[in-house]
Amino acid sequence: MKILVVYYSYSGITRRLAEDIALITDGDLLELKPLRPYSFSYNTAVKEARIEIDKGYCPPLTEEIGNIDDVDIVFIGSPNWLKTFAPPVLTFLRNANLDGKTIIPFCTHGGGGFGMMIDDIKKECKNSIVKDGLALSGFYDFDELQKWLENNL
């Protein structure tokens, strides 16, 4: 069973979670980096993201996604931005062949949980199995993450 952990991280919090998931599952990591990074000012970044989300814009990424045909399970992670995933994740969802794959979303948030993220992923991945996933706010216990992964793989 081959696992890929795909993520976008604005501040590094989602990156840390993605790295831990990859470590525990022995999965490969793929960081989604927009060609034009979001502003370092959080308020400006939110405005930029709102425009992109409202338009359904898929920002170009710094690297090609590549062939993931041999991957069975794809963890997809993002901070909760305006009740959904960050736009670089939309770029991945629309450009990667996820048909027949199991998708396990994960997100970091400041109190909003997944928002509409699960439903939005299901809309983009109609031919995939999308699981409920894991939403974490702030700090988490590595051992608890490991137990959750063992119970949900």
Distance CA(148)–CA(153), nearest Å, equals 9
What total of structural domains would you count in the chain?
A: 1
| Predicted local confidence at residue 41, as pLDDT | 92
| pTM listed for this prediction | 0.93
Query: Residue 149 pLDDT more than 90?
Result: yes
- For residue 46, give the CATH number of its domain: 3.40.50.360
pLDDT tens for 51-96 read: 999 998 999 999 988 899 999 999 999 999 989 999 999 999 999 9
Measured between alpha carbons, how far is 38 from 48 in angstroms, rounded to an integer?
7
Whose CA is closest to 80, among 125, 38, 26, 117? 117
% of the chain surpassing 70 pLDDT: 100
- Supply the pLDDT for residue 105: 97
What pLDDT was estimated at residue 74? 98
Q: Is 41 helix (H, G, I), strand (E, B) or coil?
A: coil
Helix 87-95 vs helix 117-124: angle between axes, to the nearest 10 degrees? 30
- Report pLDDT digits (tens) over 95-126: 999 999 999 999 999 888 889 999 999 999 99
- Mean of all residue pLDDT scores within the chain: 93
